[in-house]
Amino acid sequence: MNTPNPNLTPPTLFSVIIPARDEEESLPVTIAAIDKVFQREGIPHEIVVVDDGSSDRTWEVLNELKARFPSLAHVQNPGPHGFGRAIIYGLNHSRGDAVVIMMADCSDDPEDAVKYWHLLGEGFECAFGSRFIKGGQVFDYPKVKLFVNRMANLFIKTIFNIPLNDTTNAFKAYRRTAIDGCRPFMAPHFNLTVEIPLKAIVRGFSWQVTPITWRNRQFGEAKLKIKEMGSRYFFICMYVWLEKYFSRGDYRRPDDRV
């Protein structure tokens, strides 16, 4: 269902969910960039940074940044930890009727988040970006990770028979109703990045794709470890695939059930 609902009320508050573990160097740049663009565009927002068990000065840096950015609403995930768990914790502690998941390392462009906001305002329930369609760009993507990324997304695109070719990217936006309609979430790690959009598609929420830009991190180390995540991605894909083909629509939004 890729058509917007013009009867949906435009969202009123955009919650930016940022999971962060040992990101003391990246966060000042990331938060400043998001706040600057959203302020310029007049987007009411809060920036919910989830400190997910950092061992560096991430929490102290966030406390310092709060004085500069009143929109910052940082929280600490007491555990258990994990990328997916941090996002869920942030979703549970955010106030917006629309949410966007962004990375702490400034790899996601706030200008693209503005595109998402407008798509949600047009009546879409989900806004997905792709780095691999016309207008999309990637900068300094490690070659091995790029190859694995394209193979994984081709697999997902094929088994779900969907046109989306960048499902694994965490940077996506949703109306709160879509997030709540995809619960409960099972993925505790990076595989949450495929669980949410695939559930949203399977359960009948409307969505639109727009080209986006991605840049490799400037500080710190990437947290995603390919060897550790392969089986976890596969498990979540199969879990949602079984729902799609064998649940007989039991989990679809009420107005879509037959």
Distances in Å between the alpha carbon of 209 and those of 11, 120, 241, 245, 249? 18, 11, 21, 24, 24
Average pLDDT, integer, range 178-184: 97
Query: What does the mean pLDDT of the chain come to?
Result: 93
Contact 203, 182 (CB under 8 A): yes
Which residue did the predictor score with more confidence, 255 or 249?
249
List, for residues 96-119, the tens digit of each pLDDT value.
999 999 999 999 999 999 999 999
Q: What is the pLDDT of residues 217-244, one digit of tens each?
A: 776 665 555 555 678 999 999 999 999 9
Show me where the domains of the chain are located.
14-246
The string of DSSP codes covering 78-103 is: -SS--HHHHHHHHHHT---SEEEE--
* pLDDT tens for each residue of 82-92: 999 999 999 99
Residue with structure tokens 């498990």? 235
The answer to whether 40 touches 241, Cβ cutoff 8 Å, is: no
Domain range 14-246, CATH class = alpha beta
**pLDDT score for 32:** 98
